[in-house]
Amino acid sequence: MGTAAAPYPPGADAPAGSGLSADDVKERTLAGLANGVPDNSSRSLWQIVRANVLTLFNGIVGGCFLLLLFLGQWKDALFGFAALSNAVIGVVQEYRAKRLLDRLAVLDAPRARVLREGQVQDIAVSDVVLDDVAVLHAGDQVVADAVIISGDGLEIDESFLTGESEPVGKGRGSTVWSGSTITAGQGEARVVGVGAGSYASRLTAEAKRFSLVNSEIRNGIGRVLHWISWALFPVVVIVTNGQMQAKGGWDLAFTTGAWVEAVVGAVAGAIAMIPLGLVLMTSVAFAVGGVRLARQNVLVQELAAVEGLARVDVLCIDKTGTLTEGRVVFDGVHAAGIPSPPGWREALGWFGADPHANATARSLAGTFAFDGNRVPAAVVPFSSARKWSAASFSSPHAAAGTWVLGAPEMVLQGNNASTGDVLVQSRRLAWAGLRTLVLAYSQDVAPERDPDDVQLPPGLTAATLLTFREKVRPDAAQTLSYFRQQGVAVKILSGDDHRTVMAVAREVGLDAVVGYDARHLPSDPHLMEETLDGLSVFGRVTPAQKKDMVMALQRMGHTVAMTGDGVNDALALKEADIGIAMDTAAPATKAVAQLVLLDGRFDRLPAVVAEGRQVIVNIERVSVLFLSKTTYAVVLSIVFGALLWSFPFLPRQLSATDGLTIGIPAFFLALMSNPRRYKPGFLKRSLAMAVPAGIIVATAVLAVQVYSVAAGGFSAGASRTASVVTLSLVALSVLAAVSRPVSALRVAIIAAMCLGLFLLMTVPILQEFFMLEWPPPELTTASFAAASVAILAVLALSQVHARRYPVDRPAKVTQNSVARP
């Protein structure tokens, strides 16, 4: 449990009425009995450095770099500085993201409520100590393992621990585990387990953890790197042998000193195979996306969640607190068809004044008064499962009898004519967009009951109907319109009456014909999927049903985002591909969400989705550049090694071509705007373009070298230069192909790279440094001819690839139907 033995029996010096004293707290803190855990809100600086520097490929690159420096070939070791720059950029970007996320996580950290020295205090979770008396209310997260010492209708959601979604009633002496949540009632509990071993500590640490979670993008890149690592050694052996044989054999090469040039060629082949910048671009894109969203008051608790955002095609939202502001206002009283019994106003006053009332009941306090000195004989706290609460008053109280306040269809379960009339009137009010509750009355004074055996009193009759309003967020309609345009369907999952939810849906412009009462939702998975496929508005949805509905949408092939702010949304947020919690969410709800809207603005969501799409689609775009380079490097290494020819490039020349055709443009392309939705299959699509493109580049270079050998009379420098020109021109055509659709900025980037190539070939100091010499006319002609044919082949390939993998442009869809992928 991460605790030590108490200095004396728990609670011996801390009666529940007063809690611990300041001296007690100090003594336990010094004894190591506090709830503090190491701050693992994000990776440490050392972890960031290790992830960006101490990698297999950095080890290979570093070894090649040191080898060339040892041989005195520092000009050919430029790739080492590029790799170092990549690592530094990655560390800086992730560290900046870490600092920002840490600050936001601290501001958004959950709090604990404890009783100390007779006063209820709000303290940090880490300041809770053994034997503290925790004060529990509905919506709270239990932050330390504790034993109930007093309770009133306490119901605990232990689904995080047991997987059982039904709330569990807890009485005196029962244990509540950290990580569970209070769904109903109130009480006090003595802390018996604190520290890093408690469930709450682990849950909080996981919720704030800076993590690069598993994702299709990262897994795909990881597979490519794994393949390359296996292929690298045998290819290097082939290249090295070919280089040595091209210098007259191993013995002659070592005798004449030509082995140095051979080693330089082998290093060039090895370095060309490694996609140095691909992992960097992925990490930087994730980190930059997280920082951009943080600046918009969106806390990204898992940076790789941006991939899920890019793929979201269904958004499930809770009505209260998301579409509406969450503030309930009392609207009015409506007759129930029979004279109201005396005392109904005072009864409503008690429901409004109850310190444990929910927000709807509390809104009655400003209209109906209640004498605080009058105490009910029995109370049934509100439960989201029952959807009603009750209070009994004894004679000669003006409101003697039992009063029940709750959802009409849950409270009035009889079949008499008066009940039917009240339910019809309730439905009519609900269709007008009003939340409707009934105040019902029974002359019986209900005795105290076991919390597990709560039933409605007999003889209930409707005293009056009450209506409440919720204020719709001013940005809700515009936000839903954005999702409609982007092809993301919206499902409203609310615990309110489906008619009330439909009224709100119409007000925000949602194109929904009918709402659905989730009490009739089929339990059969296939029937549930059919229901979800055809409808968008659901009312009376229980927490367990929200989770089941999210899972059903996922089984249908959808990527689901879920927004919410209540404890009843926590299960669904945890199961969704992306969980989004509002600023008013309960601590447990925030803990399981990947994103938290810190300012509670619903209109942040379009920016969140757009950022995710931009990051992931651009990673796919630049991956084609890096993987095509790896492909042509492998092909050239094997072919030239097998032919026993010298490798056609020096490492410094490859550094220049890589920078112009891949490195520099990839950095800009990875951060450009890109609104289209990402679809699964990243690696398949990337390789389908990159492998043929790499083969085309290699074939063009090989053709130039074959002509150079066949024609004869050309210097090694001229042949290399011709290969550099050929490779650069064809690689730029690959860059142009992946940069579509055309935009002014993308054209400017390609033009700048072409200018860079021109300067590389014409500026004397650059020619001298990179050992470039303009080839003779016939070799130049051969180079341009090979490049032209290859460019046409790349253009044809891009057309075939575009037809095979069409761009998923946002489609206009109705919200009554979600097209299956």
Q: Is the dihedral of CA 300, 302, 304, 306 positive or negative?
A: negative
Please, are residues 612 and 289 in contact by the beta-carbon 8 Å criterion? yes
> What is the secondary structure of 466-527 as a DSSP string?
EEEEEEEPTTHHHHHHHHHHTT-EEEEE-SS-HHHHHHHHHHTT---S-EEEGGG--SSHHH
Measured from the Cβ of residue 299, the count of other Cβ atoms closer than 10 Å reads 24
What is the CA 119 to chain-centroid distance, rounded?
A: 39
Greatest Cα-to-Cα distance within the chain, rounded to the nearest angstrom: 119
User: Three-state SS for 85?
Assistant: helix
Given a contact cutoff of 8 angstroms between Cβ atoms, the answer to whether 131 and 11 are in contact is: yes
**Residue 279 to residues 52, 58, 84, 220, 241: CA-CA distances in angstroms?**
9, 11, 14, 11, 30
Q: Which two tokens stand for residue 335?
A: 């007759």
* Contact (CB, 8 A) for 564 and 321: yes
The pair of structure tokens assigned to 60 is 């290979």
Q: Name the residue among 598, 478, 571, 539 with its Cα closest to residue 319.
A: 539
CA 704 to chain centre: 49
* CB-CB neighbours of 474 under 10 Å: 10
Distance CA 627, CA 99 (A): 33
Question: How far apart, in whole angstroms, are the C-alpha atoms of residue 465 and residue 211?
Answer: 50
> Strand, helix or coil at 449?
coil
Contact assessment for residue 357 and residue 437, using Cβ atoms and an 8 Å cutoff: no
**Residue 458: phi, psi to the nearest 5?**
-75, 160
User: Does residue 524 carry a catalytic annotation?
Assistant: no
Backbone angles phi, psi at 154, to 5 degrees: -70, 130
Q: Tokens 């029940």 correspond to what residue? A: 404
Percent of residues in the chain assigned helix, strand, coil, to nearest 5: 50, 15, 30
CB atoms within 10 A of CB 54: 11
Return the number of other C-beta atoms located less than 10 Å from residue 715's C-beta: 13
Residue type, 187: G
CA quadruple 703, 705, 706, 708: dihedral sign:
positive
- Residue 11 sits at φ, ψ, to 5 deg, of 85, 0
Which of 808, 813, 816 is closest to 488 using CA atoms?
813
Gyration radius (Cα) of the chain, Å: 34
Distances (CA, A) of 212 to 52, 215, 307, 576: 13, 9, 11, 18
Q: What CA–CA distance (Å, rounded) separates 259 from 247?
A: 8
Spot the catalytic one: 76, 318, 331, 496. Answer: 318
Distance CA 641, CA 236 (A): 9
Structure tokens at 252: 């002659």
Q: How far is CA 216 from the centre of its chain?
A: 13
Distance CA 353, CA 784 (A): 86
Positions marked catalytic: 318
